[in-house]
Amino acid sequence: MVSFYLGIDFGTSGARAIVIDADSTIRANINYAFSSSTSQPWVRIWQDALYSLLEQIPLAIRQEIEAIAINGTSATVLLCDEKGNPLDDAILYNDGRGIEVLNKVKAIAPAEHPVLSATSSLAKLFWWYEKPIYSQAKYFLHQADWLAFLLHGNLGISDYHNALKLGYDVQNLCYPQWLTQLPIYPLLPEVLPPGTPINSVTPEIAHRFNLRKDCRVCTGTTDSIAAFLASGANQPGEAVTSLGSTLVLKLLSHTHIEDAKSGIYSHRLGNLWLTGGASNTGGAVLRHFFSDEALDRFSRQIDGTKPSVLEYYPLLKKGERFPVNDPELLPKLDPRPDDPVDFLHGLLESIARLEALGYQRLQALGATPLFKVYSAGGGAKNETWRVIRERLLKVRVVCSLNREAAYGSALLAKGGSFGIVGKNVYIDTK
């Protein structure tokens, strides 16, 4: 009998389902774009997307799915009644309304905790706490928790990736005392390791979508961690650099490190830690000066083995957190040579220098030394940049094996219950 595993990614502009087999080979890959013209609430759009993705998986595969895991965007949250019905539309990952109550969060959370941001899950819950609707609330859930609930029917369960920005203590695997004494505490979900089987799909869901009655639904994760799991990085010292609009570094480490001022924190991955930071430099600056076609053409004319003498700090506006923490830092983009190829060489080299500095910073704080970097995001395909980065990082730089978060969630569904993700052994389920 063949076994299949389903990962579903809820991203910013759409959702995707990927089914893998026991060898982690992709057997189905389905995309669902969220409509931008609809006035429907997000919760309705996501529910439709979830059911539509399930329906589109070929029946022969769907009937043999053993386990499902879902990832959502980090800090996208819902307030629900006792039956799991959302009382209000979801608050999205980047919604900054929590600024109104940030002082109240500051009054109770330890200094420089990841919850001390206007977009943290906890700030969003504090915002709801002051609204009349709160009196009917029974559960506070993340997007991934609620979508999984639609399949397995159990309320009040989350994972320790989604729960980090809620204030869950991932080192001691409990809610800290400063949270447990608050009136919002009864609404908080129980937190389990990502990939833990919660329950089988409900009989209604099994019947409606022709799923196995014993198909397991597991706890999920966040989109960026799912993308890390998909990359192939699985040893301490291996890292994933995301070369998207911004530059995001993630280094797998034996040690937990934290420097909230610089936006550095660690997610738990079983017995290991996923340390990381995000810089404001990155592809958005490249896109400001070059089309994707020009980036490709000019990059081919650069000899990446030779250093550029141009030293920039490529930013679109003032302010940086990582690897340099300075809200007043100004972009440095001159001198600008006449030849666009030389200018691009300077930009690629400067971003790579910041990438190297970022990994040095993580290591200086105690993270496991870097030995291999996987690349993800729009800049990962740039071979010239890879050569430049390899020269500056002084370790091997390769492309991620797979860049889809849904693939990472499928690995979580496959391996979570056995403590194994692909060849990784870092997701323990104890």
- Closer by beta carbon to ligand ADP, 314 or else 377: 377
DSSP string, 309-342: ----B--SSS-B-SSS-BTTPPPB--S--SSHHH
* Residues near ligand ADP (CB under 6 A): 244-245, 283-284, 286-287, 292, 295-296, 299, 377-379, 381-382, 385
- Closer by beta carbon to ligand ADP, 45 or else 302: 302
Least separation in angstroms between residue 356's CB and ligand ADP is 17
- Closer by beta carbon to ligand ADP, 187 or else 286: 286
Least separation in angstroms between residue 71's CB and ligand ADP is 15
- Closer by beta carbon to ligand ADP, 219 or else 402: 402
Least separation in angstroms between residue 236's CB and ligand ADP is 26
Least separation in angstroms between residue 114's CB and ligand ADP is 21
Q: Cα(209)–Cα(207) distance, rounded to whole angstroms?
A: 6
Least separation in angstroms between residue 167's CB and ligand ADP is 27
Do the beta carbons of residue 173 and residue 22 sit within 8 Å? Answer: no
Least separation in angstroms between residue 288's CB and ligand ADP is 8
Residues linked to residue 30 through DSSP beta bridges, in sequence order: 17
- Closer by beta carbon to ligand ADP, 167 or else 377: 377
- Per DSSP (E only), the strands in 261-402 are 265-269, 272-279, 372-376, 396-399
Amino acid (1-letter code) at residue 70: I
- Closer by beta carbon to ligand ADP, 27 or else 250: 250
Region of residue 313 (phi > 0: left; psi between -120 and 50: alpha; otherwise: beta): beta
> Which alpha helices (DSSP H) does 57-209 contain, by range?
59-62, 102-108, 121-129, 143-152, 177-180, 203-209
Residue 101 sits at the vertex; the CA angle it makes with 99 and 102, to the nearest 5 degrees, is 60
Instruction: Tell me if the bond preceding 337 is cis, omega within 30° of 0.
Output: no
Query: Which residues, including other chains, have CB under 8 Å from residue 74's CB and lie 6 or more apart?
Result: 93, 161, 162, 165, 222, 223, 224
Least separation in angstroms between residue 314's CB and ligand ADP is 11
Residue with tokens 């919002």: 184
- Closer by beta carbon to ligand ADP, 30 or else 302: 302
